[in-house]
């Protein structure tokens, strides 16, 4: 009897050893009961020593009545084309050799994700542009998405926009209304199934803009200075209203299209030039439009343009002004041309009145001014829309300029003056004559004797540009005059 018991024990030990030489795999991921798994979930387990492959069962039934059977060489296997919002059971066993298979692992379950997750805009977002961009999180294993956008949350209005996307996780729309409410949702598609719709999100588009500059009440604004404000993406045009009345009873309008402004990258700040607004104090506001709608007006601001042209030279009440002087003034941006008037009469009504249209900020008279004469001058700016109604009137007096001087029976003249370096001194009926040229310090920097009756060429090319004094000695008389080298 003992002999038979020993034999039985040995055989049982050999049989048990044979069954346990390859172990069942231990599952690692996804965790048991995991949710929101992708449709191509990766099933993972610990490798088993001695295993050459693994058999995987995957089924919607926990008893594996109709399982998907797969063989994996490594200790992981990626599923595909799973059904959305469905619970799956799975298990694995190891295979060492034909007929040498481990027991099944423990059974785990997971549930496939039911719907996409929306990213932005956030739910109930405000100040969304009228050309919004709506995005969602990418889902592994899907072949595409369907996105819907509508003005009602039932997604059945005539406004409904529905699009399919492959390889993209963003929907863009345009030509929407300012200050309106919109709804959107997304669902995913794979080869066998379509997910539930995502949660519905809503947002509100912006209805007006915020002004940045010019600041309210700013003065000395030029007619084409820049306006800066927060724009709204999706806008195709801008309308500006200017009026001297805060109620805009008789406004001056101008429009920009989308090419007339600059919108900075990564921001909605827009900047462009005013369309030569009228001079004076103005109230202003802005609104935006696209192909289907117009925004509300912005807040109202005021500004005051530069009042008049700032005149530079000749300065007011200047004396000893060179008869070859230019008229100069500062620019007003947006000026089409300037009206320059100068006259020997303070009423600008004498026959000597000169009135010129000048496109630059200086004017060089074609003929010299009269010597020892009082002049009056003024400048107006003319834009596409207006002319300055306020101006300064400056006066100046020219010095006793060059010309013909009489010395007893002798006469003399200098030409040209100003000079680029060479001038001619003409003397008539002199018995003897010589000359000196002095700088502003009174130093003699040039002299010439034995001047002859007729033309005498004088070269001062080696002297610096500036004003000099010509001292002329004719017979027993001395005469002076200014020389300008330029």
Question: Each residue of 162-194: pLDDT tens digit?
Answer: 999 998 999 999 999 999 999 999 999 998 999
Q: Are 434 and 473 in contact (CB under 8 A)?
A: yes
Residue 408 predicted with pLDDT over 70: no
pLDDT bracket for residue 264 (50, 70, 90):
low
Tell me, yes or no, if the two domains 21-112 and 221-304 fold the same way: yes
CATH number of 221-304: 2.60.40.10
pLDDT given at position 429: 82
| Residue 479, both tokens | 């005469």
Longest CA span, the chain: 174
Q: Of 313, 314, 265, 263, nearest to 288 (Cα)?
A: 263
Per-residue burial over 220-241, b if 16 or more Cβ lie within 10 Å, else e, is ebbbbbebbbbbbebbbbbbbb
| CATH, domain 311-398, list 1.10.3720.10, 3.40.430.10, 3.90.1150.10, 2.60.40.10 | 2.60.40.10
pLDDT given at position 267: 63
Q: Of 331, 370, 334, nearest to 354 (Cα)?
A: 370
pLDDT bracket for residue 260 (50, 70, 90):
low
- 21-112 architecture in CATH? Sandwich (2.60)
Residue 160 predicted with pLDDT over 70: yes
Q: Of 399, 377, 372, nearest to 467 (Cα)?
A: 399
pLDDT digits (tens, 9 = 90+) for 209-238: 899 999 999 999 999 998 988 888 888 889
Mean pLDDT of the chain: 89
**Residue of 7 and 274 predicted with greater confidence:** 274
- 118-205 architecture in CATH? Sandwich (2.60)
pLDDT given at position 441: 76
Residue 9 predicted with pLDDT over 90: no
CATH number of 404-485: 2.60.40.3080
**Ranges 29-33, 49-53, 104-108: which has the least confidence:** 49-53
Domain ranges for the chain: 21-112, 118-205, 221-304, 311-398, 404-485
Cα–Cα distance measured from residue 71 to residue 73, given in angstroms and rounded to the nearest whole number: 7
Eight-class DSSP state of 7: H
pLDDT given at position 309: 97
pLDDT given at position 261: 67
Q: Of 282, 271, 276, 229, nearest to 254 (Cα)?
A: 276
pLDDT given at position 17: 43
pLDDT digits (tens, 9 = 90+) for 13-27: 444 444 457 999 999
pTM of the model: 0.69
Per-residue pLDDT averaged across 235-242, rounded? 91
């Amino acid at each position: 009897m003992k002999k038979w018991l020993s034999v039985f024990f040995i055989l049982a030990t050999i049989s048990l050893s044979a069954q346990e030489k390859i172990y069942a795999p231990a599952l690692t991921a996804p965790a048991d009961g995991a949710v929101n798994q992708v449709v191509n979930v990766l099933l993972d387990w610990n490798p088993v020593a001695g295993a050459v492959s693994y058999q995987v069962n995957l089924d919607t039934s926990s008893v594996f009545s109709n399982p998907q059977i797969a063989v994996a060489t490594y200790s992981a296997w990626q599923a595909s084309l799973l059904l959305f919002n469905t619970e799956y059971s799975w298990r694995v066993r190891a295979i060492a050799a034909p007929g040498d298979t481990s027991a099944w692992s423990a059974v785990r379950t997971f549930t496939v994700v039911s719907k996409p997750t929306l990213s932005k805009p956030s739910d109930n977002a405000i100040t969304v542009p009228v050309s919004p961009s709506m995005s969602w999180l990418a889902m592994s294993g899907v072949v595409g998405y369907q996105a819907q956008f509508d003005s009602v949350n039932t997604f059945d209005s005539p406004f409904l926009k529905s699009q399919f996307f492959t390889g993209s996780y963003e929907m863009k729309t345009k030509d929407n209304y300012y200050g309106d409410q919109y709804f959107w949702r997304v669902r995913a598609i794979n080869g066998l199934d379509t997910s539930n719709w995502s949660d519905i999100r809503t947002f509100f588009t912006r209805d007006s803009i915020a002004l940045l500059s010019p600041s309210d009440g700013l003065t000395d604004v030029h007619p084409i200075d820049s306006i800066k404000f927060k724009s709204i993406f999706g806008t195709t045009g801008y309308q500006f209203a200017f009026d001297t009345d805060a109620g805009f009873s008789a406004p001056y309008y101008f429009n920009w299209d989308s090419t007339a402004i600059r919108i900075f990258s990564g921001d909605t700040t827009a900047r462009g030039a005013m369309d030569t607004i009228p001079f004076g104090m103005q109230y202003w506001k802005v609104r935006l439009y696209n192909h289907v709608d117009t925004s509300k007006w912005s807040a109202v601001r005021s500004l005051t343009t530069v009042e008049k042209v700032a005149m530079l030279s000749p300065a007011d009440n200047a004396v000893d002004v060179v008869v070859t002087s230019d008229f100069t003034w500062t620019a007003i941006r947006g000026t089409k041309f300037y009206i320059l008037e100068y006259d020997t009469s303070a009423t600008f009504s004498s026959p000597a009145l000169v009135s010129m249209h000048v496109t630059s900020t200086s004017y060089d008279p074609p003929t010299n001014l009269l010597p020892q004469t009082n002049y009056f001058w003024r400048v107006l700016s003319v834009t596409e829309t207006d002319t300055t109604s306020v101006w300064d009137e400056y006066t100046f007096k020219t010095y006793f300029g060059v010309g013909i001087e009489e010395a007893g029976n002798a006469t003399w003249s200098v030409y040209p003056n100003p000079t680029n370096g060479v001038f001619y001194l003409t003397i008539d009926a002199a018995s003897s004559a010589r000359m000196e040229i002095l700088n502003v310090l009174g130093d003699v920097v040039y002299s010439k004797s034995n001047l002859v009756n007729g033309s005498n060429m004088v070269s001062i090319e080696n002297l610096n540009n500036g004003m000099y004094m010509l001292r002329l000695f004719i017979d027993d008389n001395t005469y002076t005059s200014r020389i300008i080298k330029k």
